[in-house]
Amino acid sequence: MDTTTAETVESSARERLAAGLQQMVDEAEHLLKNAQRSGSDQLSAARDKLEVQLRRARAELDELQDKAVYHAKRAAREADHAVREHPYTAMGIAAGVGLLVGMLISRR
């Protein structure tokens, strides 16, 4: 999977999660307002429905976390491979970045 496809998949997953969480909050507010009016049976049903939605949100969050960890490890492996393949280039880039950061810090 190329990076644009991975970014698209992650973006759509984030959007789905955000929409799901927003829906869950809206539903919780609605159910709690109704439960206050009608009694304990309604409150129990509202609590059960919220628990189901929370489990679903937790599963989506866990899935996103697993994907993020996978991509981070993959990026670290690729960076390690690139540094091992081209050590002098990597040292030159690191020195250049260090010089740039040092100049920016000393300007203050």
Q: pLDDT per position in the chain (108 positions), as tens?
A: 456 666 676 677 777 777 777 777 777 777 767 766 666 776 777 777 777 877 887 788 788 888 889 999 999 999 999 999 999 999 999 999 999 999 999 987
Please state the separation of Cα 43 from the chain's center in Å. 32
